Amino acid sequence: MIRALPWTTLAILASAPAFAQHHGAHETAPAPPPAPQHSAPAADPHAGHTMPAPAAAPAGPVGTDLPAGDAPPPPVPRDRYADRFFPPEAMARGHHAMMQEGGGQRYGQLLLNLAEVQIRNGTDGYRWDGEAFFGGDIDRLWLKSEGEGSFGRDTEHAEVQALYSRAIDPYFNLQAGVRQDFGAGRDRTYATLGIEGLAPYQFHTEAALFLSTRGDLLGRLGGWYDQRISQRLILQPRAELNIAAQDVAATRTGSGLSDAELGLRLRYELRREFAPYVGVSWSRKLGDTARFARQDGDEVEDTAFVAGVRFWF
């Protein structure tokens, strides 16, 4: 008679192989089942070919990892893929048309920065200052004009400049041409050489030398800045200095720093192209120019409240 074994005995017998394997028993393990048979793999298309080795890492920093410096930029690529399929004449015409449409156009602008009435103590007057240009990004023709006077009297001073302008970098232009003066006194003509552009922080600056047909040498340094208070409200401080190398009795100009002007104008842009403004302007004659003014009975210092309009198109 076969007697039934208790369940604890069955559990010990079932765990015996694992126990023996864990403790280093040398029993022969059952053979693993045979591996399934598969069909032969397809031929490797790269069989018999040497695969290229991976590219070696650069020895030093490249791209944006390079330190800051003033090394020359890499050469501009000149090759075009389309050159392989189209004749050179057709490619030259296409390239010229692309450059014309992408920055080589001719365009112009007229800007009247100041067109104002000046309310002074006893003698109200007027003033204008504007410029216009036509040309491209590199070469332009400029016309500039400024002047001032008092109501009921002849224009005290007016000038027109015709200049050729050449860009010398992305922000500054070298200008040369001729200046013609009108107004009180004898008309005068000057050869003009100057520079104009944007200084750091968006200061618009101008500097020029003027040599008259009589040998008088004058200089001018000016600038202004647009401080945006809101999208439409803009405050513009402005300064101008005039210098003479010698006394010019005909124009009542003394040598050295002859006069200085400071202005502050607040404008509101109804449109970008049209902005009325109000402000204040202070000017003073200096040195021998002030002496000439006192001899003629003119004011040496002048403060005026101004109202006008600035526009461009």
pLDDT digits (tens, 9 = 90+) for 140-189: 999 999 999 989 888 888 999 999 999 999 999 999 999 999 876 678 99
Of 111-120, 128-137, 249-258, the poorest mean pLDDT is in 249-258
- Average pLDDT rounded to a whole number, residues 282-298: 92
Q: Please state, in angstroms and rounded to a whole number, the distance separating the CA atoms of residues 190 and 177.
A: 9
Residue 250 CB partners (closer than 8 Å, separation 6+): 185, 186, 188
Where b means 16+ CB within 10 Å and e means fewer, 182-215 reads: ebeeeebebebebebbeeeeeebbbbbbbbbeee
Per-residue model confidence (pLDDT) at position 272:
93
Per-residue model confidence (pLDDT) at position 115:
97
**Residue 3 pLDDT more than 60?**
no
**2 pLDDT band (50/70/90 cuts)?**
very low
**Residue 121 pLDDT more than 90?**
no
**Residue 261 pLDDT more than 80?**
yes
Length of the chain in terms of residues written: 313
**Residue 54 pLDDT more than 70?**
no
**11 pLDDT band (50/70/90 cuts)?**
very low
| CA distances in angstroms from 311 to 128, 132, 168, 202, 266, listed in the order given | 12, 12, 28, 20, 14
**Residue 8 pLDDT more than 60?**
no
State whether residue 17 is helix, strand or coil: helix
Question: Two tokens at 256?
Answer: 């050295």
**Residue 31 pLDDT more than 70?**
no
Fold of 168-312: Porin (2.40.160)
- The rounded mean pLDDT for the chain is 84
* Residues of the chain above pLDDT 90, percent: 57
- Average pLDDT rounded to a whole number, residues 67-88: 81
